Amino acid sequence: MPSEAYVYDAVRTPRGRGRDTGALHGVKPISLVVGLIDALRERNPGLDVGRLEDLLLGIVTPVGEQGGDLARAAALLAGLPDQVGGVQLNRFCASGLEAVNAAAARIRSGWEHLLLAGGVESMSRVPMGSDGAAWATDPQTALATSFVPQGVSADLIATLEGFSRDDVDGYALRSQERAAKAWAGGHFARSVVPVRDANGLDILTVDEHPRPETTREALARLTPSFATMGEAAGFDAVALQKFHWLEAIEHVHHAGNSSGIVDGAALVLIGSEEVGRDLGLTPRARIVGAAVTGADPTLMLTGPIPATHKALAVAGLTLDDIDLFEINEAFAAVVLKYVRDLGLDPDRVNVNGGAIALGHPLGATGAMLLGTALDELERRDLRRAVVTLCIGGGMGVATVLERC
């Protein structure tokens, strides 16, 4: 009997700075996942792991210690029963939400009843891009499809939309302020599970990336990150050959208004109504719509706009029905464009900051945002949220969440 897909719980690690001085640099990616599985079991005493069927993990750089289907290895190491499978999937930056949506669809199929979905990325240990990519490195492919790196795409969006350096810096500052306020106000308390070592000692209990002390002046001093790459390596030329009415790309993005490189993991417990009843778990929300779609690959980062429309159509809802929006802050211009195109009230978008302040652990972020949105709906006693991410290659994934 097909069922609605319910979210029973959502947890995440704090995000550690994604470099060798980051707090989580000494923690293996598998350990981050196992820690969250343990936490879910602790938080939900009724959770009978014998009812779990699969663990879906988004991992964007699935090589080395993140390779070889880390999900299965993590399920085994966490002591889940042998029958619990594990699958790694990759939809670049939306992988964590892709895992959630895939799990929700499987629950709604009626074939399965209880799944764990989320993602992990130790960017300090497995560098972004170290898995190669035909799109970037195969000349035939890159030439035919106008490949440019994401940062150039973000600057291209800013140029097309007329977002100035001041506009994107202003947004970045707001992300920092909102994240600081959210941490101070305990808005993340329900989801964040400290990372502890084998001796039970805390390694990291809060997000390490935010810079609450940042000022507009400090941001204004940062050097654009993608100007050299764009100009010297020819990527600006590639973009301008396609967006031919522009004469030049204004490089406005830098480390301070782009998502932070961090380590982290997140998991969401998704199941049918029946399994909740059987195990005495209380559903926190339903996934009422989900969608993936493509958009222009050179512009690359506008996918959340059509994905949101598509997911809302699936849910039979309109923008007016949505209380909160969580869009991944890959780059400031991505959010500004999303807000502009959908005509949103900025005060309903990323109300607790986002990846510019908090960081973007690639494979995990989508699942993290889902938890953040759910916590905030509960805190404000609101009903629905849209969670969405822009994606490499020009895609978008969106999920519509409704509290029970």
Please identify every residue annotated as catalytic. Answer: 93, 360, 390
Stretch near other proteins under the rule CB under 8 A, chosen from 14-22, 96-104, 134-142, 218-226 = 134-142
**Cα–Cα distance between 313 and 368 in angstroms, integer?**
24
Count of beta carbons in the 10 Å neighbourhood of residue 81: 12
**Nearer of residues 183 and 235 to other proteins, judged by Cβ:** 235
- State the Cα torsion 352-357-362-367 to the nearest 10°: -10
Report how far Cα 261 is from the mean position of its chain's Cα atoms: 12
Alpha-carbon gap, residue 321 to 213, rounded angstroms: 36
- Give whichever of 132 and 186 is closer to other proteins, judged by the CB atom: 132
Question: Which stretch, 108-116, 158-166, 233-241, 309-317, contacts other proteins (CB under 8 A)?
Answer: 233-241
Minimum distance, C-beta of residue 72 to other proteins, in the bound complex (Å): 29
Residue from 63, 128, 136, 313 binding other proteins (CB under 8 A): 136
Tokens at 80, concatenated:
């889940």
Q: Which one of 128, 237, 313, 404 is in contact with other proteins (CB under 8 A)? A: 237
Closest-CA residue to 5 (of 118, 105, 117, 111): 105
Distance between CA atoms of residues 387 and 370, nearest Å: 6
Amino acid at 342: L
Note the helical H segments in 271-343.
Answer: 273-279, 304-315, 332-342
Residue 134 is a binding residue for other proteins (CB under 8 A):
no
Q: Which x/- pattern over 86-125 shows residues binding other proteins (rule: CB under 8 A)?
A: ----------------------------------------
Contact, 70 vs 233, CB < 8 A? no
Site string for other proteins, 245-264 (x = CB under 8 A): xxxx----------------
Tokens of 189: 């308390």
Please give the residues from 146 up to 175 whose contact with other proteins meets the rule CB under 8 A: 147-149
Closest CB 79 distance from other proteins, rounded Å: 38
238 counts as binding other proteins under rule CB under 8 A: yes
Distance CA 85, CA 298 (A): 36
Whether 9 and 44 have beta carbons less than 8 Å apart is answered as yes
Which residue number, 8 or 147, has a Cβ lying nearer to other proteins?
Answer: 147
Binding-site size for other proteins (CB under 8 A) equals 25
Binding status of residue 240 toward other proteins by CB under 8 A: yes
In the complex, the smallest distance separating the C-beta of residue 238 from other proteins, rounded to whole angstroms, is: 5
C-alpha to C-alpha distance for 113 and 139, rounded to whole angstroms: 44
Minimum gap (Å) between residue 261 Cβ and other proteins: 17
Binding-site ranges for other proteins (CB under 8 A): 132, 136-140, 142-143, 147-149, 229, 233-238, 240-241, 244-248
